[in-house]
Amino acid sequence: MSQPMHYQPTTGFAERARAAAGDPALRRGFRGAMDFLQAKRLAQFPDAGDLSALRDLGAAIRRHALENLPQLLEQLEAKLVANGVQVHWAETPAQANAIVLAIAHRIDAKRMVKGKSMVSEEVGLNHAMEAAGIEAMETDMGEYIVQLAGEGPSHIIMPAIHKTRQQIAELFAAKLPGVAYTENVDELIKIGREVLRRKFAAADIGLSGVNFAAADSGTLCLVENEGNGRMCTTVPRAHIAITGIEKVIARLDHVPLLNTLLPRSATGQAVETYQNFISGPRKADELDGPDEVHLILLDNGRSQAHADLQLRATLQCIRCGACMNHCPVYARIGGHAYGTTYPGPIGAIISPHLLGIGATAALATASTLCGACNEVCPVRIPITEILIRLRNEAQARPAAAGPLRGAGEARSALVSAIFRAWAAVYSHPALYRLVTWAMSRGRVLTPRAQGAWTGIRTPLIPAKKRLRDLLAQRRRQ
């Protein structure tokens, strides 16, 4: 039912991108959805000055957290433990899954309901649970739909954005016993609601992500619209929250500021229906709520990004998805083509730390560097600068390769020779004059087949006369 633990190697990126770009239905779906989301976001930020000030504040909160990360994590842990929450640390996806399994075995759990959690997708949790005989049920409507279809999410906020109403109607009629075909969205949601209410009532474990973890009060903040997140954190005996180590912030009273940025940037809503602040398990006199609450803090390559002063900004992300909603590449190929848990511009800059630079080298090149992502990022991550850095790291000479995992792995002798030659020509004026003279005079020799470029474009052929020649001609006249 779930996607495989390890995502498709990004070596197939070009093929998947080509297939997606050639699928008119998928193109129409994504284009429509992206236009809709862009317009909704814009309507939420009518004042450019206010938006700019808000983004400064959002970036400052996140930068402060990253500059003080080890101290804040220790403070968060101490506060949570004092509140009765059990805190676990995982360096790898395998460790994170082992922690969840150990809890499940201890309380003899057979069924898990899941609120939306990209980190659980990152570690392949569903797969690990199923392998251990534990049912892991997605309960966010979009996640439920893609799980039912045997797919993964194609967007971090709207997982089923690639599916049409008709496809979902067919899916429900085919997969759910006793359900007749209906394209009525209210009816479809009602069907999902009824199926999942039984699952909530019967579940032993509720798993969720975390949007922000406040270190000063030891509070986990989760936002959502559907109420499935609240079900997962309230109904089952045990609640397990899983999150990346970067999600901590210093102060609870900074959550309101981030929560004005997050829903407006993500879906163009002023506020989410539910902001759920969890500070501990049920008390002895309470009649509901989980008996135990766990937090799993996952590294999985994040500390590598943290160790680099430029790449650290990657961790400022609050996972709103605005960068993908505004990306001309994402809009044309959708989320699945990337082959990684996190698609789009944020996926291209975070995935190298999770999977290695070599394995994800194609993603950094899947950008026009237009900078739309930088402009909409609510916490001002300089995404295109980081993309350029990652391109360079992927091509780094083995001797000069830095500490980043997989640096230099995508180095190609031809590409690096071309760029070395390019650099030499552009830094030596005499050589530049000679080469441009030779190219313009020898233009008939230019190959007409120029690889991927001429696949869809006319070939690049030097002009008969260089600008230099034209200017000289004008001076003579």
Partner 1 sequence: MSARENILARLRRSPAGAPAPLPDVGAWFAARRSDDREALIERFKTHIRAARAEVHDTDAAAWPELLLNLAAAKGLRTLLVGKGTRHGAALAARPQDAVSIIAYSQPAANWRDELFDDIDAAVTTARSAIADTGSLILCPDAQEPRLMSLVPPVHFVLLDARAIHADLHAAMTAENWAAGMPTNALVISGPSKTADIQQTLAYGAHGPREVIVLLCRDGVEL
Q: Please, which residue, 83 or 365, has the CB nearer to partner 1?
A: 83
- For residue 472, the tally of other CB atoms under 10 A from its CB is 11
Q: Least distance in Å: CB of 79 to partner 1?
A: 10
Chain centroid, CA 41 distance in Å:
18
Residue 204, helix vs strand vs coil: coil
Strand bridging mode 212-214 / 86-90 = unpaired
Q: Least distance in Å: CB of 225 to partner 1?
A: 5
Q: Please, which residue, 285 or 455, has the CB nearer to partner 1?
A: 285
Looking at residues 370 to 399 of the shown chain, list those that interact with partner 1 (rule: CB under 8 A): none
Query: Which of 242, 241, 233 has its CA nearest to residue 282?
Result: 233
Looking at residues 255 to 294 of the shown chain, list those that interact with partner 1 (rule: CB under 8 A): 255-257, 259, 267, 270-283, 285-289
Terminal CA-CA length for the chain: 76
405 binds partner 1 (CB under 8 A): no
Looking at residues 348 to 367 of the shown chain, list those that interact with partner 1 (rule: CB under 8 A): none
Beta strands in 142-272 (DSSP E): 205-208, 212-214, 219-224, 238-244, 248-249
* Distances from the Cα of 130 to the Cα of 123, 221, 287, 294, angstroms: 13, 28, 31, 20
Beta strands in 181-218 (DSSP E): 205-208, 212-214
Q: Which of the stretches 161-169, 388-396, 431-439, 452-460 binds partner 1 when contact is defined by CB under 8 A?
A: 161-169
Q: Least distance in Å: CB of 393 to partner 1?
A: 17
**Going by C-beta distance under 8 Å and a sequence separation of 6 or more, which residues neighbour residue 468?**
433, 436
Instruction: Print the binding letters for residues 95-134 with partner 1: x by CB under 8 A, - otherwise.
Output: x---------------------------------------
Task: Quote the CA–CA distance of 271 and 190 in Å, as a whole number.
Answer: 23
Q: Please, which residue, 13 or 30, has the CB nearer to partner 1?
A: 30
Instruction: Print the binding letters for residues 326-345 with partner 1: x by CB under 8 A, - otherwise.
Output: --------------------
Q: Please, which residue, 189 or 369, has the CB nearer to partner 1?
A: 189
Looking at residues 53 to 82 of the shown chain, list those that interact with partner 1 (rule: CB under 8 A): 53-54, 56-57, 60-61, 63-64, 66-70, 73-74
Task: Quote the CA–CA distance of 192 and 2 in Å, as a whole number.
Answer: 18
DSSP 208: E
Looking at residues 195 to 254 of the shown chain, list those that interact with partner 1 (rule: CB under 8 A): 196-197, 200-201, 216-219, 225-228, 230-231, 233-235, 237, 245, 250-254
Q: Please, which residue, 102 or 421, has the CB nearer to partner 1?
A: 102
Q: Please, which residue, 66 or 173, has the CB nearer to partner 1?
A: 66
Looking at residues 20 to 39 of the shown chain, list those that interact with partner 1 (rule: CB under 8 A): 33, 36-37
> What is the residue-wise DSSP string for 335-368?
TGGG-SSS-HHHHHHHHHHHH-TTTTHHHHHS--
Q: Least distance in Å: CB of 129 to partner 1?
A: 20
Amino acid at 173: A
Query: Which of 419, 118, 420, 390 has its CA nearest to residue 242?
Result: 118
Task: Quote the CA–CA distance of 427 and 455 in Å, as a whole number.
Answer: 31
Interface residue with partner 1, options 295, 297, 350, 383 (CB under 8 A) = 297
* Phi, psi (degrees; rounded to nearest 5) at 113: -105, 145
Instruction: Print the binding letters for residues 444-473 with partner 1: x by CB under 8 A, - otherwise.
Output: ------------------------------
Q: Which of the stretches 86-94, 390-398, 427-435, 436-444 binds partner 1 when contact is defined by CB under 8 A?
A: 86-94
Q: Least distance in Å: CB of 427 to partner 1?
A: 31
Task: Quote the CA–CA distance of 185 and 191 in Å, as a whole number.
Answer: 10
Helix (H) or strand (E) holding 88: strand 86-90
Q: Please, which residue, 136 or 298, has the CB nearer to partner 1?
A: 298
Q: Please, which residue, 290 or 406, has the CB nearer to partner 1?
A: 290
Q: Please, which residue, 214 or 387, has the CB nearer to partner 1?
A: 214
Task: Quote the CA–CA distance of 254 and 126 in Å, as a whole number.
Answer: 33
Interface residue with partner 1, options 158, 361, 364, 404 (CB under 8 A) = 158
Secondary-structure percent of the chain, ordered helix, strand, coil, rounded to 5: 55, 10, 35
